[in-house]
Amino acid sequence: MWDFENRRFSYNDLQRITNNFQNNIGTGGFGSVYVGILEDGTQVAVKRRSQSSSQGVKELLAEAQNLRRVHHKNLVSLVGYCTDEDCMALVYEYMQEGTLQDKLTDNARPLTWKQRVRIAYESALGLEYLHKACNPPLIHRDVKTNNILLNVNLEAKIANFGLSRAFNNDVSSPVSTAIVGTPGYLDPDLRYYFSGQLSEKSDVYSFGVVLLEIITGQPPIIGGPEGGHVTHWVIQRLSTGDIESIIDPRMPGQYDINSVWKDTDLACKCAENNSANRPTMNVVVMELKESLALEISTEGIRSGSTTNTYPHNYSRNDNVVSDVSQNSAFEMSYMSSPALGPSAKIIWQDSFVY
Name the domain boundary from 67, 93, 119. 93
Of the candidate ranges 217-221, 245-249, 338-342, the one whose mean pLDDT is the lowest? 338-342
Whether this model's pTM surpasses 0.95: no
Pairing mode, if any, of strands 138-139 and 78-84?
unpaired
Question: Predicted confidence band at 335 (pLDDT cuts at 50, 70, 90)?
Answer: very low
47 labeled binding residue: yes
In DSSP terms, which residues pair with 88 in a beta bridge?
Answer: 83
Domain CATH for 336: 1.10.510.10
Specify if 89 maps to a domain.
Answer: yes
User: Which candidate, 118, 192, 181, places its Cα nearest to that of 146?
Assistant: 181
Q: Is the pLDDT of residue 249 over 70?
A: yes
Our count of domains for the chain comes to: 2
Q: How far apart are CA 2 and CA 63, in angstroms?
A: 12
326: which residues sit within 8 A by CB, 6+ positions away? none
Question: Predicted confidence band at 301 (pLDDT cuts at 50, 70, 90)?
Answer: confident
Same domain, 49 and 139: no
205: which residues sit within 8 A by CB, 6+ positions away? 185, 187, 188, 189, 270, 271, 272, 275, 278
Mean pLDDT of the chain: 80
Question: Predicted confidence band at 129 (pLDDT cuts at 50, 70, 90)?
Answer: very high
Same domain, 84 and 105: no
Same domain, 252 and 273: yes
Q: Is the pLDDT of residue 3 over 60?
A: no
Q: How far apart are CA 338 and CA 316, in angstroms?
A: 6
4: which residues sit within 8 A by CB, 6+ positions away? 64, 68, 78, 81
Q: Which domain holds residue 180?
A: 100-351
Same domain, 121 and 229: yes
Name the domain boundary from 31, 58, 93. 93
Pinpoint the alpha helices (H) of the chain. Answer: 11-17, 57-69, 100-104, 113-128, 190-195, 201-216, 230-238, 257-270, 281-302, 326-334
In this structure, how many other beta carbons lie within 10 angstroms of the beta carbon of residue 99?
19
Is the CB of residue 150 less than 8 Å from the CB of residue 100? yes
At what angle are helices 201-216 and 257-270 packed, to 10 degrees?
A: 150
Radius of gyration in angstroms for the set of CA atoms belonging to the chain, rounded to a whole number = 21
* Mean pLDDT to the nearest integer, 147-171: 83
Q: Is the pLDDT of residue 284 over 90?
A: yes
State yes or no: cis peptide before 183, omega within 30 of 0.
Answer: no
Same domain, 195 and 324: yes
In DSSP terms, which residues pair with 166 in a beta bridge?
Answer: 138
pLDDT of residue 55: 59
Specify if 161 maps to a domain.
Answer: yes
Q: Is the pLDDT of residue 322 over 80?
A: no
User: Which candidate, 168, 166, 167, 195, places its Cα nearest to that of 179?
Assistant: 195
Same domain, 197 and 346: yes
Domain CATH for 66: 3.30.200.20
Q: How far apart are CA 247 and CA 342, in angstroms?
A: 24
pLDDT of residue 196: 64
Q: Which of 13, 142, 189, 265 is catalytic?
A: 142
* Mean pLDDT to the nearest integer, 194-199: 69
* Mean pLDDT to the nearest integer, 222-231: 89
For 311-321, what is each residue's pLDDT tens digit? 333 333 333 32
* Mean pLDDT to the nearest integer, 222-239: 91
Question: Predicted confidence band at 195 (pLDDT cuts at 50, 70, 90)?
Answer: low
Of residues 129 and 71, more confidence is placed in 129
Name the domain boundary from 93, 117, 149. 93
pLDDT of residue 38: 94
Same domain, 88 and 161: no
Query: If residue 274 lies in a helix (H) or strand (E), which one and from where to where?
Result: none
Same domain, 191 and 146: yes
Same domain, 202 and 240: yes
Specify if 1 maps to a domain.
Answer: no
For 50-65, what is each residue's pLDDT tens digit? 776 655 667 777 777 8
In DSSP terms, which residues pair with 197 in a beta bridge?
Answer: 176
Question: Predicted confidence band at 305 (pLDDT cuts at 50, 70, 90)?
Answer: low
Q: Is the pLDDT of residue 348 over 90?
A: no
Same domain, 84 and 165: no
Q: Is the pLDDT of residue 40 over 60?
A: yes
**How many residues are recorded in the chain?**
354
User: Which candidate, 204, 237, 28, places its Cα nearest to that of 123?
Assistant: 204
Specify if 111 maps to a domain.
Answer: yes
Pairing mode, if any, of strands 31-37 and 43-49?
antiparallel
Q: How far is CA 3 from CA 77, 193, 200, in A?
A: 17, 36, 29
Q: Is the pLDDT of residue 255 over 90?
A: no
What are the CB-based long-range contacts (under 8 Å, 24+) for 307-315? 309/344, 310/340, 310/344, 311/340, 312/339, 312/340, 313/339, 314/339
Of the candidate ranges 84-93, 177-186, 243-252, 321-330, the one whose mean pLDDT is the lowest? 321-330
Instruction: Specify whether 142 is catalytic.
Output: yes
pLDDT of residue 352: 33
